[in-house]
Amino acid sequence: MRKLLPLALLTLTACAPKTDTETQPTQEINYNVDRFADIEVLRYAVPGFEDLSLEQKQLIYYLTEAAISGRDIIWDQNCSYNLPIRDMLEAVYTNYSDDKESEEWKAFEKYLKQVEFANGIHHHYSMDKFKPEFSQEFLANQVSKLPADLKPANAEELYSVIFDPTVLPKRVNQADGVDLISTSACNLYGGGITQKEVEDYYAGIKNPKDETPVSYGLNSRLVKNPDGSISEEVYKIDGLYGDKISRIVDNLKKASEFAENATQKSVIDKLIEFYTTGSLKAFDDYSIAWVGDTDSRIDFINGFIESYGDPLGMTGSFESIVNFKDLGASHRTEVVAGNAQWFEDNSPVDPNFRKPEVKGVTAKVITAAILAGDAYPATPIGINLPNANWIRAAHGSKSVTIENITKAYDEAAKGNGFAEEFVIDDSTRSLMEKYGFMTDNLHTDLHECLGHASGRLMPGVDPDALKAHGSTLEEARADLFALYYLADPKLLELGLLDNPEAYKAEYYKYMLNGLMTQLMRIEPGKDVEEAHMRNRQLISAWALEKGKADNVAELVKRDGKTYLQINDYEALRGLFGQLLSEIQRIKSTGDYEAGRKLVEAYAVKVDPELHKEVLDRYATLNIAPYKGFVNPVYTKITDADGNVTDITVDYTEEYLPQVLRYSQQY
Ligand code: ZN
């Protein structure tokens, strides 16, 4: 599971904890790289890389190569037309010799940047297909001038996918009451298979009595054959995406030679086995080994991990993040994780649904060295893995906060005017300035290392019982756990906060975001779709409504503008606890109907008037609602005999040059 950036970070650096003990990069870094459509591309620093040993640097080097090698997998998973369209667009872009001041060219360049950012033709967050602002004639004319070997054979078909708004309009459809497979453009199912056929297939191979089930469908494309039978095309070295996977494996083998210890080596070797055999049992073995590796400084994820890209939440999108532990900042999360049992025992959840023994919850703050696949360019700020419930219960999970990424967001957001426009008054603003960054980091820690790890399913409850609403409710559960405990005196006792009022900064920001400011990410007339956004609106709208009688919080009008006013923070905490208890009950008992009702009632619909107001006010600030990152470039330095003497890191590559280079080299 992943934690995404809650909103364009406020300017909250006044009292940010200084946690970095590592060497800052010596190069001057330009954090703001590119700005187009609703996107800003940033750059992140990798403090501490220079201090690593040559072996560690080489380990990172080969893991980053393995990461980027899977790039085309996510493109193809997102939509079967993505790669041929990318080839065509990039060929036109690099061969263009006409007027670069023309409106059509500028629109074309913008579209290319959007597609590169989303790893395909659908928006990475809204899942809607991009609307090109150049004409089909312009593109066709440019394609006609391409050298013969660069001309696509099926250009007409590609044009209709790009320009016809009725063709493949949505990557992942979550709308209630329609066939989610046939209405989603993603390429995880094929041959005209229906949702019912997919569900029947997995119901047929799942054993409800199996207490250690593999993650069915995680690494395969399910297809209906011409004779009507159903089969899985497995992602493996001699299967689907075999050429990419074999390059990943080659680099993993080289990385394995530089493993820091035997445990880490066995993690890498088990991942190689998974990629070689495609066996989901091998993936579980790898996951268990990975959870057990808590001593290595360097860590990575590489594989088919999160299932947000699948309307049925089964198949994992290719993703990789290579990282190393930020030793100074990790102290904070170690304190949180070290007290996991106390938090579990004191939660407002029905004791039957709590975990009697919370095992192996580890948490650390990491420095990302590379982002790849589904985590590039848009990336999460925290991760909690593995996703398999029984592995989490029996072996624990690893939870990380990626603090060089949150720092880059914070750097880029300085002075953007957001707080002045949306926060109700000076006193709230100054509380947020003082404690916002700190409580936001803590919220991430609590969400990832306690929230997702807490609670248990009742015996016999299918972990997928909440179906299409599972992700939203799971994120809500983790967020509520974090919100509830942010206000707990325990955090002061543990030395994680120094002011009993500090939590109010995060409460205000969370409610403001869930009720109003996240709407800036949605087009007028559209519903809330994405699981994290649904979860935030669910929590905020539910608390607002349930607290109405006691005037806990309200939306007030001042000079024609809507503001959130929180009147009783303590009562708000009580409401968060109440909802946490209910959502844990829903998850523990697999109460699909109650979960569906909560989501449908609070998480989906948008007040069109308030939505318009937020968009209008937000537009005056000119802040990009979505952000992502270019990667640093690592280079091997060798001596005259070919021995590697160093790995250098460079922060100068720009956005389009980077993605175009990736397309060429990987
Ligand atoms: Zn989460």
Three-class secondary structure of residue 402 per DSSP: strand
- Spans of the chain below 50 pLDDT: 7-21, 360
Phi, psi of 238 (to 5 degrees): -110, 25
Residue 475 lies in a domain: yes
How is residue 354 written in tokens?
A: 């709590």
Q: What is the pLDDT of residues 359-387, one digit of tens each?
A: 646 668 899 999 999 999 999 988 889 99
Residue 83 lies in a domain: no
CA of 425 to the centre of ligand 1 (A): 30
C-alpha 598/C-alpha 538 separation (Å) is 7
CA of 402 to the centre of ligand 1 (A): 14
CA of 514 to the centre of ligand 1 (A): 15
Instruction: Give one DSSP letter per residue of 293-308, joined into a string.
Output: --S-SEEEEEEE---T
Helix, strand, coil in percent for the chain, rounding step 5: 45, 15, 40
Give whole-number Cα distances, 536 to 6, 263, 429, 510, 574, in Å.
Answer: 9, 38, 21, 8, 17
CA of 440 to the centre of ligand 1 (A): 14
Domain that holds residue 413: 2-72+239-625
Q: Is the Cβ–Cβ distance between 372 and 319 less than 8 Å?
A: yes
Phi, psi of 647 (to 5 degrees): -120, 125
CA of 392 to the centre of ligand 1 (A): 14
CA of 536 to the centre of ligand 1 (A): 11
b/e 433-442 (16+ beta carbons within 10 angstroms → b): bbbbbbbbbb
CA of 532 to the centre of ligand 1 (A): 8
CA of 475 to the centre of ligand 1 (A): 5
CA of 39 to the centre of ligand 1 (A): 23
CA of 316 to the centre of ligand 1 (A): 16
Radius of gyration of the chain (CA): 24
CA of 34 to the centre of ligand 1 (A): 28
CA of 67 to the centre of ligand 1 (A): 22
CA of 331 to the centre of ligand 1 (A): 21
Q: Is the Cβ–Cβ distance between 305 and 317 less than 8 Å?
A: yes
CA of 168 to the centre of ligand 1 (A): 29
Residue 317 lies in a domain: yes
Three-class secondary structure of residue 206 per DSSP: coil
Per-residue pLDDT, 437 = 82
Q: For the whole model, what pTM was predicted?
A: 0.79
Q: What is the pLDDT of residues 596-636, one digit of tens each?
A: 999 999 999 999 999 999 999 999 987 888 999 999 999 99
CA of 307 to the centre of ligand 1 (A): 12
C-alpha 584/C-alpha 460 separation (Å) is 16
CA of 561 to the centre of ligand 1 (A): 32
CA of 164 to the centre of ligand 1 (A): 35
Residue 430 lies in a domain: yes
Per-residue pLDDT, 31 = 85
Residue 219 lies in a domain: no
C-alpha 330/C-alpha 492 separation (Å) is 18
Three-class secondary structure of residue 313 per DSSP: coil
CA of 539 to the centre of ligand 1 (A): 14
From 312, 65, 41, select the one nearest 182 (Cα to Cα): 312
Residue 541 lies in a domain: yes
How is residue 39 written in tokens?
A: 């996107």
Three-class secondary structure of residue 367 per DSSP: strand
Residue 129 lies in a domain: no
CA of 400 to the centre of ligand 1 (A): 11
Q: What is the pLDDT of residues 121-164, one digit of tens each?
A: 999 999 999 999 999 999 999 999 999 999 999 999 999 999 99
The count of domains in the chain is: 1
CA of 478 to the centre of ligand 1 (A): 6
Determine how β-strand 397-402 pairs with β-strand 361-373: parallel
Which residues, 6+ apart, have CB-to-CB distance to 369 below 8 Å?
46, 49, 60, 63, 64, 322, 323, 324, 632, 634
Per-residue pLDDT, 553 = 98
- CB neighbours (10 Å) of residue 360? 16
CA of 1 to the centre of ligand 1 (A): 5
CA of 465 to the centre of ligand 1 (A): 18
CA of 396 to the centre of ligand 1 (A): 16
From 468, 485, 477, select the one nearest 310 (Cα to Cα): 468
CA of 248 to the centre of ligand 1 (A): 27
Helices of type H across 516-607: 531-546, 569-589, 592-598
Q: Is the preceding omega at residue 386 within 30 degrees of 0, hence cis?
A: yes
CA of 496 to the centre of ligand 1 (A): 21
Beta-bridge mates of residue 232: 222
CA of 117 to the centre of ligand 1 (A): 22
CA of 477 to the centre of ligand 1 (A): 9
C-alpha 239/C-alpha 279 separation (Å) is 12
Residue 79 lies in a domain: no
CA of 66 to the centre of ligand 1 (A): 25
CA of 274 to the centre of ligand 1 (A): 25
CA of 444 to the centre of ligand 1 (A): 9
